[in-house]
Amino acid sequence: MYILPSLWGFGFLPTILPSMNKNVLLFILVIGLAVFSEAAQAKKKPAIIQGYDYIVAPGEIFFLEVKVERAKFIPLRVDLKKQRIHFYKGDFHLGSARSDRDGLARLETVFYAPGIYRVKAELSKDSKYKANTTDNRVLVVDPKVPLLVSDIDHTLADISGREFLRTPDHKIPTLKKAPEVLNRITKDFTVFYMTARDDSFIKRTKNWLDINNFPLGPSFFWDFGFFNQMPSDHGEYKASLLKTLSKKFKNILIGVGDKPHDVAAYRENGLRAYYIGHPGEVLASDVISLKSWIEIEEHLKLNPIGSLRGDPLIK
Ligand SMILES: [Mg+2]
């Protein structure tokens, strides 16, 4: 729209030209050009930055990674290269990195103190694009700490992945007592989330977990960390991610999910698996099928990890 005033101005030129000398004309042109470029500067093009969550050990060197894209409909959502991204831990500036040809910017970093941190990434102010700031979580945890992993759809949220798309966050109910039980469980287990939701829903999913007071923890999404080589099957994705994590974190002890492939992925990696889905499904061996989070909490109290057949060994 900033072009219009200039055109309007030029339309007047023929009528006033004869009465002006060259210096005045030049002056008008220079001013016009300055106004034009100012307007172009102010009108930054929209972009999207997508960040990811991590679980790392204290003192572990790792890469914070974000993806930068033009904000357009999917087929036109091109990767943005050479964009400088600044990374912050809370308000502390961790450093910056430039995006590569795939739109990926990576910052090598290290966190020493155990805890859960909010990390954000944003575009450099001098970019010709404007974008959101990311809201990511980095869980820094001793590899010996007991961990629990939960699925989200039909496990924490009383909704399917498909219905979730057309339901506003505040209208999506939790499974009964899920936040309360999980918050009590954090006394003994550190919680993280794994979902088959596509990673384009990261922001909504985190918002939903936050507004329902679930324990703050990292979430892993469908194509997290796989980028171009993601497994084609949801169960395979979960198994593969768990396998990677359990190489380092020896005490991922419990997994909760509503799909036979969730609990199969948990069992494949030696976790105690709680199934909270439709009864009557064929489940992997030693999966514990219960109806609610309250039942899971009671079952866990009566049967501590290590007391049942197929339980993981605490290391
Ligand atoms: Mg599910």
How far is ligand 1, taken at its centre, from the CA of residue 152, in Å? 6
* pLDDT tens sequence for the chain (315 residues): 444 444 444 444 455 555 567 777 777 777 776 666 666 556 899 999 989 899 999 999 999 999 999 988 777 789 999 999 999 999 999 999 999 999 999 999 999 999 999 999 999 999 999 999 999 999 999 999 999 999 998 999 998 878 888 899 999 999 999 999 999 999 999 999 998 877 777 788 889 999 999 999 999 886 544 444 555 567 787 888 899 999 999 999 999 999 999 999 999 999 999 999 898 899 999 999 999 999 999 999 999 999 999 999 888
How many CA atoms are closer than 13 Å to the CA of 250, on its beta-carbon side? 6
How far is ligand 1, taken at its centre, from the CA of residue 69, in Å? 29
Strands in 288-289's sheet, in edge-to-edge order, are 219-220, 190-194, 147-150, 252-257, 272-275, 288-289
How far is ligand 1, taken at its centre, from the CA of residue 120, in Å? 28
Rounded alpha-carbon distances, angstroms, from residue 98 to 5, 91, 107, 108, 185: 36, 20, 9, 12, 40
State the DSSP string of 76-90. Answer: G--B--S-EEEEEET
Contact in structure between 272 and 253 (CB atoms under 8 Å):
yes
How far is ligand 1, taken at its centre, from the CA of residue 278, in Å? 11
How far is ligand 1, taken at its centre, from the CA of residue 258, in Å? 5
How far is ligand 1, taken at its centre, from the CA of residue 290, in Å? 15
Distance CA 100, CA 94 (A): 19
Q: For residue 228, give every residue at least 6 positions away whose Cβ sits within 8 Å of its Cβ, in sequence order, or none.
A: none
How far is ligand 1, taken at its centre, from the CA of residue 189, in Å? 21
Strands annotated E in the chain: 45-51, 54-56, 61-70, 84-89, 92-98, 104-110, 115-123, 129-131, 136-140, 147-150, 190-194, 219-220, 252-257, 272-275, 288-289
How far is ligand 1, taken at its centre, from the CA of residue 207, in Å? 18
Rounded alpha-carbon distances, angstroms, from residue 22 to 7, 13, 25, 212, 264: 20, 13, 5, 68, 81
How far is ligand 1, taken at its centre, from the CA of residue 172, in Å? 14
